[in-house]
Amino acid sequence: MGMMIDGQWHSKEPVSSTQSDTFQRAQSAFRDWITADGGPGPDGQAAQPAQANRYHLYVSLACPWAHRTLIMRELKGLQKLISVSVVNPIMGDQGWTFEPAEGVVPDPVMDAQFLHQLYAKADPQFTGRITVPVLWDKQRGTILNNESAEIMRIFNSAFDTLGARSLDMAPAELLGEIDQINAHVYDTVNNGVYKAGFARSQAAYDTAVHALFDSLDGLEARLSQQRYLTGTQLTEADWRLFTTLIRFDPVYVGHFKCNLRRLIDYPNLWNYMLELYQMPGVASTVSLDHIKTHYYSSHRHLNPTGIVPAGPVLDLNGPHGRGHLPVQPGPLHIGLQ
């Protein structure tokens, strides 16, 4: 998939003699924060102040990690405060690019042709994978943060004094439970599909795929009793799970061999996914075309022909039937079933 080494782009990632059969996700490199007044982040991180039109978000509509930041930007009403660019869904020899295609939004900041040019600008000696999302600081001319979980929390609170929607997806009283759920879902589901799809041995695949479906079984049972992952209140934990669920039947079942069951075979998970998809603004962040094109066309070691399958046909606007479960009223629930 390519990577940068000492600031230079390499179209093929070097193969280590100690490479594991189990997929290993690299840690994000840029971890500064944004706060309302520029004071330190929640764990003492260096931070910049929230300002309108200072920050720019780079995403892929195909990538689940980038997708969750795009959803948070939409839900919090940050569209006029934080601009956005969208990369081409196909990742080739240059990694993520801005090559023109339907849905691509070019880079207005540096007029970059490739995302790796932004990483080189931020750190001329950068070594690592070139990933989305990227939150760029236009004033300082550098990457502020490229960790999706942290960007979600930045968007959740940093811009409230600038007119962001009054909506708290990480309330303090639920934060411990949210963090616990996030850790489990990340390991077994969000990253679990990748551990199955990119496994290099039967044993690694078997371990990952059974952990994934054990987790989905548990989530199905949990959501049979309550509306959302923490109970009656919609939180960031739900959106972190959603971006994997919306991709599950179109991509992960076939392309990543996560085929013990389809998502639609889980009635509670399926209907929960439908409810989240149907919340105001969310559908506009979902591009099944970009999702399927990226996975099936970019991972040639898994799909050598690059043929993108026609299906499955999904009815994402059908009734979700979860109205009988209690919910804490909020702006996203107005007018929903």
DSSP string, 266-322: SHHHHHHHHHHHTSTTTGGG--HHHHHHHHHHH-TTT-TT-PPP------TTS----
**Does 55 qualify as catalytic in the annotation?**
no
Candidate list 55, 119, 194, 272, residue with the active-site label: 194
Q: Distance (Å, rounded) from C-alpha 237 to C-alpha 75? A: 14
Q: Distance (Å, rounded) from C-alpha 308 to C-alpha 294? A: 9
**Does 258 qualify as catalytic in the annotation?**
no
Candidate list 55, 58, 63, 296, residue with the active-site label: 63
The CA dihedral of 278, 67, 299, 201, to the nearest 10 degrees, is: -90
**CA nearest 86: which of 295, 285, 279?**
285
Q: Distance (Å, rounded) from C-alpha 182 to C-alpha 239? A: 10
Q: What are phi and psi of 149, to 5 degrees?
A: -60, -40
DSSP string, 180-202: HHHHHHIIIIITHHHHHHT-SSH
DSSP label of 91: -
**CA nearest 64: which of 287, 304, 297?**
287
Active-site amino acid positions: 63, 194
